[in-house]
């Protein structure tokens, strides 16, 4: 092995070091990208500066995946006849309801955004739905819907804030989203946000897989280097038995 440390082999050692360093470095880079992507996706937008709703999404747009919890400013007229109560909402350990009234964005008849005005223990205790025009700030949330059916479509209580259910209660289009009012109405408690960004296990998994790959190749280069360092100078193949088939 000491023979391999002779100056004429220094170039080979340097090459091995460079190859291993490059592979480790590229692996670290991919690993960093993987972490950065995950952090970006988990960003909590709820404290961000409010922006006008039309800058985030239009009435016919799909929900922008990176805007969960974004505070938006909504201006328009209430649609009090479209008020619904969403059951099964817990607040401080108590089961209750969300009071939801659509807000026609821009003016009466325009596409509306369902707004969670607040939380109430019983729909009967809720104040009368507001009417007229307003401007409020709300956290934007994607619509719910795991397919739980509304067991009684004729009343105003829904099991989930599903756009397809709310639309039965209004005469206009609805946004593919809902808002949770930052300031609850007097007589209502503030509703908790149901959905905050969640980092999926697969988020940018590709970068992690690349990182592992690079480290593998680094280890492989180091392995070959080590094999070459430690192997004895080979005797001529002629004096060895011919390769025998294996397996």
Partner 1 sequence: MKLFSTYRVLAFVVGALLAFCSFVALPLRYLPTEGSSLQQLGETLSVLWVAHGWAFMAYVVVTFLLARKLRWSIGFTILNLAAGLIPLLIFFMEHQVNRKVRAEHPELVTPSAV
The sign of the torsion formed by the CA atoms of 150, 153, 158, 162 equals positive
Q: Which is nearer to partner 1, 18 or 224 (CB)?
A: 224
Lookup result for tokens 């005005």: 117
Looking at residue 176, the DSSP 8-state letter turns out to be: S
CA-nearest of 33, 52, 174, 50 to 115 is 174
Q: Which is nearer to partner 1, 172 or 203 (CB)?
A: 203
Q: Are 199 and 37 in contact (CB under 8 A)?
A: no
Q: Which is nearer to partner 1, 14 or 206 (CB)?
A: 206
Size of the site for partner 1 (CB under 8 A): 13
**Part of the chain binding partner 1 (CB under 8 A), chosen from 50-58, 124-132, 158-166, 213-221:** 213-221
Residue of 11, 93, 147, 247 interacting with partner 1 (CB under 8 A)? 247
Determine, following the binding rule CB under 8 A, whether residue 62 of this chain makes contact with partner 1.
no
Strand, coil or helix: what is 109? coil
Lookup result for tokens 């990176």: 66
Binding mask 171-210 for partner 1 (x = CB under 8 A): -----------------------------------x--xx
Contacts of 75 by beta carbon, 8 Å cutoff, 6+ apart: 105, 106, 133, 134, 135
Binding mask 214-243 for partner 1 (x = CB under 8 A): --xx--x---x------------x-----x
Strand, coil or helix: what is 178? strand
Give me the residues that bind partner 1 (CB under 8 A), please.
206, 209-210, 213, 216-217, 220, 224, 237, 243, 245-247
């Amino acid at each position: 092995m000491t023979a391999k440390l002779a100056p004429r082999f220094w170039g080979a050692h340097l090459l091995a070091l460079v190859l291993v360093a490059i592979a480790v470095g590229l692996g670290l880079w991919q690993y960093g990208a993987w972490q950065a992507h995950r952090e970006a996706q988990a960003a909590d937008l709820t404290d961000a500066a409010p922006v006008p709703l039309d800058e985030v999404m239009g009435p016919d747009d799909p929900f922008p995946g990176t805007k969960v919890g974004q505070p938006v400013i909504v201006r328009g007229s209430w649609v009090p006849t479209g008020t619904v109560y969403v059951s099964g909402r817990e607040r401080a350990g108590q089961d209750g309801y969300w009071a939801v009234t659509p807000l026609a964005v821009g003016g009466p008849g325009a596409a509306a955004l369902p707004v969670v005005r607040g939380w109430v223990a019983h729909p009967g205790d809720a104040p009368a739905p507001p009417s007229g025009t307003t401007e409020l700030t709300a956290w934007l949330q994607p619509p719910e819907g795991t397919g739980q059916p509304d067991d009684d479509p004729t009343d105003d209580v829904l099991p989930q804030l599903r756009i397809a259910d709310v639309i039965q209660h209004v005469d206009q289009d609805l946004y593919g989203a809902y808002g949770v009012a930052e300031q609850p109405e007097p007589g209502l408690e503030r509703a908790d946000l149901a959905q905050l960004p969640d980092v999926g296990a697969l988020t940018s998994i590709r970068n992690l897989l690349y990182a592992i790959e690079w480290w593998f190749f680094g280890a492989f280069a180091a392995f070959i280097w080590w094999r070459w360092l430690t192997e004895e100078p080979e005797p001529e193949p002629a004096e060895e038995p011919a390769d025998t088939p294996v397996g």
